[in-house]
Amino acid sequence: MAAPSAAGLGRRLRAWLPRIMPVRWSRYNPSYLEPEVKKESYQKPLEELTEEEREQMELKAVRPIKAAPPTLSSSVFSDPMISKFTNMMMKSGNKVLARSLMSQTLEAIKRKQLEKYHKAPENEKETIECNPYVIFHQALKNCQPIIGLSNITRGGKTYQVPVPLTDNRKRFLAMKWLITECRENKHRRTLMPEKLSQELLLAFNNEGPVIKRKHVLHKMAEANRAYAHFRWW
């Protein structure tokens, strides 16, 4: 049975093996830190850093660092949000297809916006946003719910209790709603990029079915406000 870290079994710091193996483990020793890929963070001069950042730097100098995953790169074109969305769109590990769909979506958004730009009168030209990345980020932000519902069972009955959501959960829900919306509620012949670009543009303007779903969730949470005291965390 392969032990978690096979390298360096003699040295105490590297060879971390718990007495009992938990189900969720990683090949890295827990002392390994996450890599920082952006070039700008290394070019800051020493004086501009705060106390915390200085401590972080010293810690990084002593501890080993994990390898950067293949989806992460320091180039201008790699965006962690876009990679997360691509991974969620991926089916059966077909990253090539997911990535091509994503790039076709961004291209479609750009085309539609450029069309609108060239047709618009002079004074409105500045308000039209052409950068697909900006539209993507703004649309995701608009789709994120603020509060969620969780099932709590009390005395045999299950209540839907309003609960605050973490940032990760909000982002995940926004992306999941967008993808399910595009996969299920479309005409049989429309392709994914087309439908996705349509949804993203609507979400950017705070319209569309995904925003409606977010509002429905908020209304349900507001309606169940009475049960908020059931939450114990």
Partner 1 sequence: TLRLICTTTEVQRKNAGASGPEKYTEAFIKKQIEEFNLGKRHLANMMGEDPETFTQEDIDRAIAYLFPSGLFDKQARPMMKHPTEVFPEQRKIQWGEDGRPFHFLFYTGKQSYYSLMHETYEKFLNVQKHQDQLAAEDLPLQKEKRNLAGSRWLTKIELEEMLLEKLSDDDYSRFIQLLQKLVALPCADIEESYIQKFSKELPVQLQEVVIEPLQYDEQGKAFSTGEGKRKTARATAVVYDNGTGKITVNGTDILHYFPVLQDREQLLFPFQFLGRIGKHDMVCTVSGGGRSAQAGAIRLASAKALRSFVTEKEVECMRQAGLLTVDPRVKERKKPGQEGPRRKFTWKKR
- The answer to whether residue 3 forms part of the interface with partner 1 (CB under 8 A) is yes
User: What is the biggest distance separating any 2 CA atoms in the chain, rounded to whole angstroms?
Assistant: 72
Q: Is 48 left (phi over 0), alpha (psi -120 to 50) or beta?
A: alpha
Q: Binding residue for partner 1 (CB under 8 A) from 12, 119, 157, 189?
A: 12
CB of 94 within 8 A of CB of 102? Answer: no
- The answer to whether residue 30 forms part of the interface with partner 1 (CB under 8 A) is no
Q: Binding residue for partner 1 (CB under 8 A) from 49, 65, 120, 216?
A: 65
Q: Which is nearer to partner 1, 50 or 158 (CB)?
A: 50
What span, in angstroms and rounded, lies between the C-alpha atoms of 43 and 79? 20
Q: Is the dihedral of CA 74, 75, 79, 82 positive or negative?
A: negative
Comparing CA positions, the residue from 1, 66, 74, 2 lying closest to residue 28 is 66
Q: Give the number of residues in contact with partner 1, rule: CB under 8 A.
A: 48
What span, in angstroms and rounded, lies between the C-alpha atoms of 129 and 133? 10
Tell me which stretch binds partner 1 (CB under 8 A): 95-103, 121-129, 136-144, 153-161. Answer: 95-103
DSSP 158: E
- The answer to whether residue 27 forms part of the interface with partner 1 (CB under 8 A) is yes
- Shortest Cβ distance from residue 90 to partner 1 (Å)? 12
- The answer to whether residue 222 forms part of the interface with partner 1 (CB under 8 A) is no
Q: Which residues bind partner 1 (CB under 8 A)?
A: 1-3, 5-7, 9-10, 12-13, 15, 17-23, 27-28, 35-37, 39, 42, 55, 58-68, 70-75, 77-78, 95-96, 99
